[in-house]
Amino acid sequence: MKSIWIPALAFALTFSAQGEDVVTLHDYHPFRPLSSISEWEERKLEIQTRILVAAGLLPMPEKTPLNAKRFGELKQEGFKVEHVFFESFPGHYVTGSLFSPEGETEANGLVDGKRPGVICPHGHWTNGRFYDAIDREGHRGAFAQIAKGAERFEAAARNPIIARCVQLARMGCVVFVFDTIGNADSVQLVEHRRGPRDSMSGSEDGEWGFVSPQATLRLQTNFGLQTWNSVRALDFLASLEEVDQGRILVTGASGGATQTMMLSAIDDRVDAAFPAVMVSTAMQGGCTCENSHYLRIGQGNVDIAAAFAPKPLGLTAADDWTIELESKGHPDLKSLYAQLKSPKNYEAHFDVHFFHNFNHVSRTHLYRFVNEHFALGFEEPVLESDFDFLSQEDLSVWEALGSTPENYMVGDEHEKSLNAIWATGSDESVARDPAALEAGWGVLLNAGLIPLAPATFELTEKTKNNGVVKMSGSIQFGKRSLAAEIHYPESWNGEVVVHTRGETSGYGDAAVVIPALSSEVNDAVTYSGKSDLPADSWQRSPVYFYGYNDSNFTRRAHEVAAAVSMAANHPDWNVSKVTVQGVEATAAVALAAKVLMGDEIDELSIDLKGFRFAAVDDFHDDNMVPGALKYGDVEGLEKVASQ
């Protein structure tokens, strides 16, 4: 597994560059360029760490026994398919189909008796593995794909997910396609995505589900569970005796491409990746399984895909949000691979006359990619041949088994139990890993790697009364401007107090800086931007705000840090000591500023008065910090601040 990024606590912090406008998944998300290729490894590690934190997987949970079962064989010409299930968490089952060569194809792909392994996460095709275009559109719809050249055969037109698995197996690969939450056999969580529900928002262990304040405080999301399932799917595949652990591919389209990008970025075992119709600078992925807190602050899908460089990466674009990939995103990736001296490891295909797809044209690009990078030796182009359509009855794990395991639960009770197991393991793993604690808070507080110039003060008004000069103006930092007052005694003693609550008395001859801290910026941002959604709509998930924007608490920490930076580096001041004051929630803000500014803050004058993040029970509370409870609540923040 990857190392983790520990934020550099530099002399001047990279303050939040989100500006005043709320960022959404529908905005423009370009690749963040590097001033030098020498920065790439550090930037790559930052991207990987942010993904892990967003998924609630930093540090990784304990890998409990998979208890995997592989059974039943259905054979067709050139391939066979078996049923598979395993436990990603105790009692939570991942289900799927395992495809392998059979008969005349068994000689394909072998190197020292081992075959390439392929993980196939699927996207939002109705019912996933069980998808059938005829059920959705009738025969006319399926045959229309053939008529326009998108597909060659009816079975593939009916289910392009399975068609990909069949062909890769015929090429000599072992292919595992597994179900995403709420699809096919994966029905323990009945819905693929859920919104806020009062009945699932308890505060005690075993009382909360996803999309609740407690889950948010612990970074437990559909996205995180799906990403963990992908990691465990790779564990399963790599455990198979016939799989070559030096030739592992991940490939999926749409939401499956999102999982392809994430798994490829965070898991060193992946050797090649082919995410189709997802990487773009436009819409970043609409589902809750594609969004999580912090995931796309300072990075987008192009950056995330780039985190796989310089390993082999292939992309496709279509007539969807990826339609501009050739001019937006592709040039950046091509340049990056060239600078990393691996230009042949990157490719992209722009078949934008087809709508959103992983059709035969796109899959043929995939087969050429696999043929080349895994040295399979097929004459190109590698084209599919027909197969008998595999129905739900053919593929269903639970129908084939005839029953479900003894510890199998479904619905709200399973969701609550799953989150309790995850939370307990998370608490224990963070307690054992101080580096993860520091890295986690670094992401929560959006600590920067590249220092900017110190914050500055722009004066708008100055008055003098009883030996104290009062200056009103604004602190300029990054792209933001923060209203502030400075009370400067004529008999100044060289000390500065940054006061978070606006009081100026009682500090003798110290200068007092009072930043006007942010309030009420945590809008109820939704996926659709609508304000009239039902209260329990999945589109109201907080991931659509916190996945792209700093929390208000973090903004306040940046504002206090900016005031410290301005005072400590003021060209006309010779500062001997900087103290930050805070009470209750602002005491926690002061601790966060200390994490960000390190030795620039000499002393904290704080009284928490019992404040704890665990007591925050509203997604849009000014003190909601997703992940704060996972990373030790206030005590965890104090530990990092004291380092």
Q: CA-CA distance, 63 to 84, in Å (whole number)?
A: 18
Give the pair of three-digit tokens for residue 567. 């005072």
Residues 218 and 230: their CA atoms lie apart, in Å, by 20
Angle CA 164–168–173, to nearest 5: 145
Per-residue pLDDT of 175-190, as tens digits, reads: 999 999 999 999 999 8
* Structural domains counted in the chain: 2
Tokens at 582, concatenated:
């805070």
C-beta separation of 90 from 407 below 8 A? yes
Last residue of a domain, one of 389, 413, 437: 413
The verdict on residue 151 lying in a domain is yes
User: Is 489 found in the same domain as 373?
Assistant: no
Of 124, 123, 106, the residue nearest 115 (C-alpha): 106
Q: Looking at the domain assignment, is residue 402 inside a domain?
A: yes
204 found inside a domain = no
Cβ atoms < 10 Å from Cβ of 336: 23
State the sign of the Cα–Cα–Cα–Cα dihedral 381, 385, 389, 392. Answer: negative
Token output for 121: 């996460």
Residue 354 in any domain: the answer is: yes
For residues 240 and 114, membership in a common domain is answered with yes
Map tokens 């110039």 to a residue. Answer: 453
Distance CA 88, CA 248 (A): 20
The DSSP bridge pattern shows strands 468-477 and 456-465 to be antiparallel
**What confidence score (pLDDT) does residue 11 get?**
32
Q: Of 352, 387, 413, which residue sits at a domain end?
A: 413
Low-confidence ranges of the chain (pLDDT < 70): 1-2, 5-20, 449-452, 520-524
Query: What pLDDT sits at residue 7?
Result: 63
Interhelix angle 434-444/40-54, rounded to 10 degrees, is 90
399 and 481, same domain (yes or no): no
Helix (H) or strand (E) holding 335: helix 330-339
Residue with tokens 């983790």: 4
Closest CA to 105 of 84, 76, 82, 129: 76
C-alpha to C-alpha distances, 115 to 72, 106, 120, 600, 601, nearest whole angstrom: 21, 10, 16, 56, 57
- 251 lies in the same domain as 370: yes
| Structural domain contains residue 41 | no
Asked whether residue 401 falls in the same domain as residue 460, the answer is no
Q: What letter does residue 344 receive in the DSSP assignment?
A: G
Task: Calculate the CA dihedral of residues 423, 429, 433, 439 and round it to 10 degrees.
Answer: -40
Domain boundary residue, one of 380, 413, 446: 413
Please state the separation of Cα 260 from the chain's center in Å: 12
CATH of the domain at 537: 3.40.50.1820
Task: Give, in order, the Cα–Cα distances in Å from 585 to each of 205, 554, 600, 606.
Answer: 25, 12, 21, 10
Report pLDDT for 10.
37
The pLDDT score that the predictor gives to residue 17 is: 39
Residues 408, 500 share a domain? no
Domain-located, residue 147 = yes
Of 119, 87, 313, the closest CA to residue 230 belongs to 119
Instruction: Please check whether residues 271 and 169 belong to one and the same domain.
Output: yes
Q: Which DSSP letter does residue 540 get?
A: G
Alpha-carbon span 541 to 285, nearest angstrom: 14
Q: Judge if 260 and 377 occupy the same domain.
A: yes
**Together in a domain, 289 and 350:** yes
Shared-domain flag, residues 130 and 269: yes
Residues 6+ apart with CB under 8 A from 615: none
Residue 168 lies in a domain: yes
404 and 522 assigned to the same domain: no
By the 8 A CB rule, do 172 and 109 touch? yes
Helix/strand/coil (H/E/C) assignment for every residue in 426-456: HHHHHHCCHHHHHHHHHHHCCCCCCCCCCCE
SS3 252: strand
Domain residues for the domain of 536 are: 456-641
525 located within any domain = yes
* pTM of the shown model: 0.95
Q: Are residues 392 and 460 in the same domain?
A: no
